[in-house]
Structure formats: C-alpha cells, structure tokens
Amino acid sequence: MKEKIEALLNEIDSFKASSKEQVEEFRIKLLSKKGKVGELFDEFKTVAPELRKEVGQKLNDLKNKAQDKLNALKEKFESSEEGNDKEQDLTLPAEAVSIGSRHPLSIVRNQIVDIFARIGFTVSEGPEVEDDWHNFSALNTPADHPARDMQDTFYINENPDIVLRTQTSSVQVHMMENTKPPIRTISPGRVYRNEAISARAHCQFHQVEGLYIDKHVSFADLKQTLMYFAKEMFGEKTQIRLRPSFFPFTEISAEMDVSCSLCEGAGCNVCKYTGWLEIMGCGMVDPNVLENCGIDSKQYSGFAFGMGIERITQIKYRVKDLRLYFENDVRFLKQFKSAL
C-alpha cells in the first residue's frame, strides 16, 4: 500500500498538462469516484490497525496534493484562455484614448519656427526677467526715452531696474553680445506689458523676433525674407506691403502688412475694408545697437523684425478675443485638435 501511495505521489509530481482536456483526464484518473485515490481509500479499510495511523496520514497527504495540483492546473489554463480571448477578439471596440490638443499659440509658434528654420534661422531663448540694459538701454531706449512709455511693464526691482521683459529683442541683445556674426536667429517667447486686460490687449503675450547680421545685409534681404515668410504662412497668393515707421532700435523702420487672405485684397470686415492686415514691425538694426553689443557697425549690418504670435493666430484661426488664449476653456482649445 505504501508503495502504491509513493508511486502515485511521483506521478502527480511529474504530471504536466498541455491542454484543458488533459487536466480533465488527470482529474478523472485520480480524483473521480472511481479514481486511483478513491481506490486507495477503499483499500485502506483492509490495512492492519497498527499501521492505520501512518498510512492514513500518507493517504490524506496524497489526496491534498492531487487536489492542489488539479486546482493549479485548472487556474493556469483558465487564465491563459481568458488572455487569449482578449488578444484574439478583433471585433471588440478599441478603448477610447483622449489625446487632447495642442494650444493654438504653440501650433502657430511651431509653424513660424519651422518656416524660418528652412532658411537657416536658429532658435534662441532668454530669461523672462531682464535687467534694464537688455530690455531697454542696449536697444537705444535710454531711461528718458519717450518710447518707454509705450512699453510699461512689471518691475521686480527698481534702481537697478529688473523687469519682466516687454519684448524678446532682449534675447537678441544677449545673442549679439555673445556671438560673432554672422547671426541668423529667431527668438520666440512670452513678454509682458502693464495693460488693462480686454479683448484687444493683455498683460502677457508672445512674440517672435528675428535677427540677421552679416556683412552687406541690405533692406532688400529683409524684404525678400519677409515675403518668403508671408507666402509660407498665409499662402502663395499673399502680397506684402511695407509702410515707413519708427522704432528706437532700427533705422530705417517699417510696418509690414500682408494682403487679407479672406477677401484676397477686395476688402472685408476682418481687414476693415482695406484689403491689408498689419502683422509686424521691422527694419535695419540701428548702428548704435550694434555698437552697444560690441559689433563693428562699419563692418556689419543687419535687419530685425518682430511679430505677435497672438496676432498671427488671430488671422489664421479668426480668434477675435485675446483672453481666450489664456482662459484654458476646453471648448475653445478642443477646436484645434485637427490642427496638430
């Protein structure tokens, strides 16, 4: 009897099933009413009384072991079967994944960066908290200059003045101070103004400023570069128009308009029936600015331009209220899903 128990124990230990059917065979062979374990229990009745305790214990161990093995095998096949079902049922609907959308200002910023990268402009960034020199003085706007009134900002410290930058031209000053020409870079970034918040003005917005400094850079290069940008951004038919203007850091200076992409110049309410949309300021870098930044203005010349990303986005996507950009209203933001 003991030998039979031992033999069965070995059989249980070494048993391996490769299908659910084999597990069932194992159950019938050992644990069903007429199975081998049952047979041994029948045989137990004939065991001599003095051996009963020892044999009985072994028999119980055998039964438990067989049951444990069966449970383990069942579990294994059931769980793997579930796994297979999940993998194989291709008719199940996919789980919905919400991917959100890029912010419209990021979309347009990336487009602008991409357009200028294609003609060799690098991207440069700088601090949003600036000293007076980099934000104003180096850019030909000394402390008593009236142009400062148009760019009132938030002061972190007075005397010496530390401010939230009013323009990303400050990044260009850093570039000119630290890089030898030729310089060809655009500086996208957030800027600040002390303005009452309304549909048309905000205390923060985004700019992209461009700078190109080399030998023999002329106004014709500026015009051609901006023409290329306008066509890439607003379409092949786009025309540009330069109007004389004034900025402290450029001489000569101009405002650039693009032909209205909605009415193609015929006049509509977006362009206020002029056929033109103002999008940026530009000009030849003032020789004083070059000298302020340690560049020989007799040897080098350059052009600079700057535009508001909000303004370009407003024209491209017809966003009428500036505040929408900063309110994080999902109803507004999800409209840009397809523009990723």
The sign of the dihedral angle between the CA atoms of 37, 41, 46, 51 is positive
**DSSP H stretches of helix in the chain:** 2-14, 20-31, 36-44, 49-88, 104-117, 132-135, 169-178, 219-234, 287-292, 309-317, 330-333
Residue at token pair 């045989």? 43
Q: Is 73 or 271 the residue whose CB approaches Zn ion more closely?
A: 271
At 336 the three-state DSSP class reads helix
Out of 173, 183, 217, 271, the only residue in the binding site for Zn ion (CB under 5 A) is: 271
Backbone phi, then psi, for 54, in 5-degree steps? Answer: -65, -50
Return the number of the residue (260 or 319) whose C-beta is nearest Zn ion.
260
Binding test (CB under 5 A) with Zn ion, winner from 47, 115, 268, 324: 268
Number of residues near Zn ion (by CB under 5 A): 6
Name the residue nearer to Zn ion (CB basis): 186 or 271: 271
Stretch that binds Zn ion, among 187-195, 236-244, 255-263, 299-307 (CB under 5 A): 255-263
Q: How far is the CB of 271 from Zn ion (least distance, A)?
A: 3
Q: Does 316 bind Zn ion (CB under 5 A)?
A: no
Part of the chain binding Zn ion (CB under 5 A), chosen from 15-23, 28-36, 138-146, 254-262: 254-262
Q: Give the residue nearest to Zn ion (CB).
A: 260
| Position 263 contacts Zn ion (CB under 5 A) | yes
Q: How many H helices and E strands in the chain?
A: 11, 10
Q: How far is the CB of 113 from Zn ion (least distance, A)?
A: 27
Query: Do 193 and 153 meet the contact criterion of CB atoms below 8 Å apart?
Result: yes
258: tokens are 């693009």
Q: Which residues bind Zn ion (CB under 5 A)?
A: 260, 262-263, 268, 270-271
